[in-house]
A and B are shown apart, each in its own frame.
Chain A
């Protein structure tokens, strides 16, 4: 069966460090993968999209990698700040180009 797995346990890191979140998938052949941020009580907000032929994409302090052999995407936030604390969702295109979301990983950045 198809699965998208994100670490369900919260990730706690210290301010200034690099946070790395993982998204693994099985039985998908996505053409692209997206990352979203969700704050409590709000809807998800788009961050980055990476296509299957791209190994890496950057946007300011964010970096995403996409390894179609390992079926994995890594999401990095460098020089993390308390304001980066949120839940981060990965999403990939499944059947009929519909986006399917992982359950998200909660990131907590402490001073």
Chain B
């Protein structure tokens, strides 16, 4: 398996534009997680899905952020409109189960909002 795949790897956009980040989890994993990492706040969980259903989105910072998982092999995180403070590295991770199970992280998308 190729591991968790994320695209794009880098995204530079201007304030106010829509940004869509993509993730393909490892086949067979039931859980998918979206994280954001910054120097100031570290790695923060934004939302996670179980069997394509959003379970907990309490970490989503604002209504500008939305996430979907239309099928078991694809998820998107959308920011509309984007703001400079959204600049961060966004990671997608997947696992077999939640709880006591290792998470497999993708390479991340580095987002810069000018």
Q: Which residues of A pack against B, CB within 8 Å?
A: 31-32, 34, 41-46, 49, 51, 89, 93, 96-104
Contact = CB atoms under 8 A, between A and B. Distances in A.
Interface residues of B, number: 21
Interface of B: 4, 33, 42-45, 48, 55-56, 91, 93, 98-100, 102-108
Given A98-B48, A100-B45, A93 B105 contact: no
B105 A44 contact: yes
B107 A42 contact: yes
B107 A104 contact: no
7 contacts: A43-B4, A46-B102, A46-B103, A46-B104, A99-B45, A101-B44, A104-B42
Contacts of A31: 99-100
A43 B100 contact: no
